[in-house]
Copies of this chain bind each other. A is one copy, B any other.
Amino acid sequence: MIGPEDVEAAAHVTGGVTHRTPTVTSRTLDQLVGASVFVKAECLQRTGSFKFRGAYNKIASLSREERRRGVVAFSSGNHAQAVALAARVLGAEATIVMPADAPSLKLEATRGYDAAVVTYDRYTEDREAIAASLAEERGLTVVPPFEDPLVMAGQGTAALELLHDAGELDLFLAPMSGGGLMAGCATIVRARSPSARVIGVEPEASDDTRRSLEAGERVTLPEVPRTIADALQLRCPGAQTFEVNRRLLDGVVTASDAELVAAMRFAFERMKLVVEPGGVAALAALLAGRVETGGRVGLILSGGNIGADRFAELVLEK
Whether A307 is near chain B, meaning CB under 8 Å from some CB there, is: yes
B22 and A268: CB pair below 8 A?
no
* Copies of this subunit: 2
B273 and A308: CB pair below 8 A?
no
Whether A158 is near chain B, meaning CB under 8 Å from some CB there, is: no
The majority secondary structure among interface residues of chain A is: helix
Q: How far is the CA of A264 from the CA of B264 in the complex (A)?
A: 17
B268, B275, B307, B313: the one within 8 Å of A311 (CB): B268
B309 and A272: CB pair below 8 A?
no
A268 and B272: CB pair below 8 A?
no
Chain B residues in 8 Å Cβ range of A167 = none
Q: How far is the CA of A64 from the CA of B129 in the complex (A)?
A: 72
A308 and B304: CB pair below 8 A?
no
Q: How far is the CA of A315 from the CA of B314 in the complex (A)?
A: 13
One digit per residue, 1 when the CB lies within 8 angstroms of any chain B CB and 0 when it does not, for chain A 27-46 equals 01000000000000001100
B44 and A308: CB pair below 8 A?
no
B24, B105, B271, B313: the one within 8 Å of A269 (CB): B105
| A267 to B, closest residue via Cβ | B274
